[in-house]
Amino acid sequence: MDDRLPVRVAVDAPQHSGLGGALDYLSERTLSPGTLVRAPLGRREVTGIVWPGDADPEPSVALKPVAAVLDAVPPLSARWCELVDFAASYYQRGLGEVALSVLPPELRKLDDDQLAQRVARLRKAWAVPPAGPVPARPELTPDQAAALARLGELSAPGQAPVVLLHGLTGSGKTEVYLRAAEDALAAGRQVLVLVPEINLTPQLEARFAERFGAGPAPKRIVSLHSGLTPAQRLKNWLAAHLGLADLVLGTRMAVFAPLPRLGLIVVDEEHDPSYKQQEGARYSARDLAVYRGKLEGACVVLGSATPSLESWQRAEQGRYERLTLAHRVGNGALPAVRLVDMNLLPKAPGVTTLLSPQLVGALARRVERGEQSLVFLNRRGYAPVLHCGACGWKSDCPHCSAWRVFHKVDRTLRCHHCGFTQAVPRACPDCGNLDIAPLGRGTERLEEQLAEALPGARVARIDADSTKTKGALEAQLSAVHAGDVDVLVGTQMVAKGHDFRRITLVAAVSPDNALFSSDFRAPERLFALLMQAAGRAGRDAAQADRSEMVVQTWHPTHPLYAALQRHDFKAFADSQLKERSMAGLPPFSHLALLRAEARTAQAAREFLQAAATLAEQIPGARELLIYPPVPHHIARVANVERMQMLVESPTRGTLQRVLRPWVDELTRLKSQHKGVMRWALDVDPLAI
């Protein structure tokens, strides 16, 4: 008689294998839910997690035994398992895929003895944290004091409030985070702080380390993001899971950090699209943070100067508590926004500069006064395309339906979608014309034109190309903070989150593209980006009265710019919500996007059309609106054709009831469409 016990284990089964839930195995002893194990899967031995619930194996199936138990790591909590279960169910992914993808990859490579050694070293190293002097705290503004008082009332035991902290740029939202974290830590709880991008993590980590890393009882702070080495990520993950770390700061993946005493979750810049995962399990870390707060009984603070329209509407409905920081620290003025109408500039033949005389004059005045300026253009490279005026040839990518961007620094044409790179040709490949020229502008070209327009000015550029090497971003930011740069050229990397004290002028040279985009979220993203960029100016109260933002536009009467000039997010949000309500767009409807990638556009279209037919047969599908398949904005990438099909529902529940059986059918449908390479379902998509 076999005395081994059946147990459910979540393993990362192959995608679309039909093995979406936990699998049944045999164990020689009782295992607590959340225990890490090694288990056989096919011919491999993989890491798994014992999952809550009773195993119910079929009598005719011979179960395989668990290969090893990783006792060195305490079991993951029931609430952590519930969070993963919800994420897998809501975003229509395999349970094991989600559960294992959010664990440190290094964890899968170690046996129990190796893990025990890592845990022992970590406990020993962190046994007695070094004490230090008590750090100074700035005096609170009336807005900050009022927000914290209300936050304290809402965070009474037994409550799990969601708070939208709507604060102007420079109004001191970070200080509110710090004080709220201080209260949670004093109560013996852990704090999770999420930021949208890796390059913002060190800056915020330094602020928290300065506040909590000293004093008579210093706190342990760790970060979790993809920029860490595998060993660092495992060490920080273990510190959080073992309860050794008091504060965890990280990007979207950190929302799954196991924290046994979680008491506060902060989502900084909650509107940022980077919180939405775009590969694999396409989850929203912001939305999962809200769900996790309810599970853990923890307060959730969503902070932003330009909240997402979804969060704003929930605050308007009373589902979130809105706290407002309406004034800058030191009562500094917001930068005056000046629009430059590009239609009124004289058209000089052969002149393609991005810089208006008004902007050049404003920059020159800052250089003379020893102040700094930020010039923002969200397009890297020298020019978007090379062009032959004789035959019309353009530097298209042979593998994508996109242009290869001209990079003057290394004289290459580079596709930013598939990475295909070639040296710049000496002549037009089609007609042999030697006079091929750049068309359009990127940050490299803008940097060059600024250096010509401002002789003697120290011009620097920060974008994805100039920060490739390790430590480059930190070095360049240090130069800006030290005053070694007069004019900083950058993409959105520098337009948000950074505290540049010497910048008094911000310029957006070419922001109009998003005004008339087919993506209904484009105006929301543009307004947020411009408001964030404007917030880099005048952060030092002594210079705030002369801070300014210059926006060069061909559409100066557009309502978006009118709201920007008044720094009136509420007016912009109200107008956008009214438009979306009339059009039946989120947050007044709920969307899912089915994407298909295939060798031909026809194969992708036929798969999506067949998928639509299957969906229509599912109970409840009559309430859905299924749009015809259309190509992506960039239809071909790396010789793969991409199509998408939008599904719209009046309620979230109706959409979810249809999606689960539909996904099961799609797994079988793909086997009938050999030309389809892969498909993916994106629930609550951000980019359409």
| Three-class SS of 456-518 | CCCEEEECCCCCCCCCHHHHHHHHHHCCCCCEEEECCCCCCCCCCCCEEEEEECCCHHHHHCC
Residue 30 has pLDDT above 80, yes or no: yes
Q: Do 597 and 634 belong to one domain?
A: yes
CATH number reported for the structural domain that contains residue 495 in this entry: 3.40.50.300
How much is the average pLDDT of 102-119? Answer: 93
Looking up tokens 């000496």, which residue turns up? 426
Q: Do 321 and 215 belong to one domain?
A: yes
Strand partners, 383: 406
Q: Do 20 and 77 belong to one domain?
A: yes
Question: Does residue 299 have a known ligand-binding role?
Answer: no
Question: Does residue 428 have a known ligand-binding role?
Answer: yes
Q: Sheet holding 44-50: strands in order across?
A: 23-27, 5-11, 44-50, 36-41, 68-69
Q: How confident is the model at residue 627, as a pLDDT?
A: 95
**Among 14-28, 478-492, 619-633, which stretch is predicted with the lowest mean pLDDT?**
14-28
Strand partners, 566: none
Question: Does residue 388 have a known ligand-binding role?
Answer: yes
DSSP state letter for 470: T
pLDDT digits (tens, 9 = 90+) for 667-681: 889 889 989 999 999
Residue 41 in domain: yes
- Range of 300-309, 380-389, 465-474, 513-522 with top mean pLDDT: 300-309
pLDDT digits (tens, 9 = 90+) for 213-230: 877 778 999 999 988 999
One-letter amino acid of 115: L
Residue 119 in domain: no
Q: How confident is the model at residue 131, as a pLDDT?
A: 66
Comparing 483 with 541, which gets the higher pLDDT? 483
How many other C-beta atoms can be found within 10 angstroms of the C-beta atom of residue 33?
A: 17
Three-class secondary structure of residue 626 per DSSP: strand
Rounded CA-CA distance 305/495 in Å is 13
Comparing 237 with 430, which gets the higher pLDDT? 237
Q: How confident is the model at residue 60, as a pLDDT?
A: 66
How much is the average pLDDT of 190-197? Answer: 94
Q: Do 523 and 627 belong to one domain?
A: no
Helix (H) or strand (E) holding 239: helix 230-241
Q: How confident is the model at residue 130, as a pLDDT?
A: 66
How much is the average pLDDT of 470-484? Answer: 83
pLDDT digits (tens, 9 = 90+) for 531-559: 988 888 776 656 666 889 999 999 999 99
Rounded CA-CA distance 556/339 in Å is 6
**Are the CB atoms for 247 and 212 separated by under 8 Å?**
yes
CA 419 to mean position of chain CA atoms: 22
DSSP state letter for 465: T
How much is the average pLDDT of 302-308? Answer: 96
**Are the CB atoms for 424 and 416 separated by under 8 Å?**
no
How much is the average pLDDT of 510-521? Answer: 85
Nearest residue to 553 via CA among 544, 564, 567, 569: 564
Provide the whole-model pTM. Answer: 0.92
Rounded CA-CA distance 540/504 in Å is 9
Q: How confident is the model at residue 1, as a pLDDT?
A: 44
**Are the CB atoms for 252 and 194 separated by under 8 Å?**
yes
Q: Do 446 and 556 belong to one domain?
A: yes
Q: Do 322 and 221 belong to one domain?
A: yes
pLDDT digits (tens, 9 = 90+) for 425-458: 989 998 988 888 887 778 888 888 999 999 999 9
Q: Do 629 and 481 belong to one domain?
A: no
Strand partners, 200: none
Residue 342 in domain: yes
Residue 304 has pLDDT above 90, yes or no: yes
Q: Do 509 and 596 belong to one domain?
A: no
- Residue at a domain's end among 330, 362, 394: 330
Q: Do 338 and 307 belong to one domain?
A: no
**Are the CB atoms for 251 and 259 separated by under 8 Å?**
no
Q: How confident is the model at residue 470, as a pLDDT?
A: 76
Rounded CA-CA distance 100/108 in Å is 9
Residue 353 in domain: yes
CA dist 463 → 285, 420, 442, 489 (Å): 25, 19, 10, 8
Q: How confident is the model at residue 223, as a pLDDT?
A: 93
Q: Do 473 and 558 belong to one domain?
A: yes
- Residue at a domain's end among 77, 101, 125: 101
Question: Does residue 418 have a known ligand-binding role?
Answer: yes
**Among 171-185, 215-229, 252-266, which stretch is predicted with the lowest mean pLDDT?**
215-229
280: domain range? 142-330
Rounded CA-CA distance 145/153 in Å is 13
Residue 477 in domain: yes
Mean model confidence pLDDT for the chain: 89
Residue 182 has pLDDT above 60, yes or no: yes
Residue 435 in domain: no
Cis bond before residue 587 (omega within 30° of 0)? yes
CATH number reported for the structural domain that contains residue 645 in this entry: 3.30.70.100
Residue 403 in domain: no
Q: Do 94 and 152 belong to one domain?
A: no
Characterize 231-250 residue by residue with b for buried, 16 or more Cβ atoms within 10 angstroms of its Cβ, and e for exposed: ebbbbbbbbbbbebbbbbbb
Report DSSP letters for 550-592, one per residue. Answer: EEEES-TT-HHHHHHHTT-HHHHHHHHHHHHHHHT-TTSSEEE
How much is the average pLDDT of 301-305? Answer: 96
Q: How confident is the model at residue 600, as a pLDDT?
A: 94
Looking up tokens 């709880």, which residue turns up? 189
- Token pair for residue 559? 């309502």
Q: What is the largest CA-CA distance in the chain?
A: 93
Q: How confident is the model at residue 213, as a pLDDT?
A: 81
Q: How confident is the model at residue 472, as a pLDDT?
A: 79
How much is the average pLDDT of 296-313? Answer: 96
Question: Does residue 81 have a known ligand-binding role?
Answer: no
Number of structural domains found in the chain? 4
How many other C-beta atoms can be found within 10 angstroms of the C-beta atom of residue 474?
A: 13
Q: What share of the chain in percent tops pLDDT 90?
A: 60
Residue 291, class by beta-carbon neighbours within 10 Å (0-12 exposed, 13-18 middle, 19+ buried)? Answer: middle
Strand partners, 36: 49
CATH number reported for the structural domain that contains residue 19 in this entry: 3.40.1440.60
Rounded CA-CA distance 240/416 in Å is 37
Q: Do 555 and 634 belong to one domain?
A: no
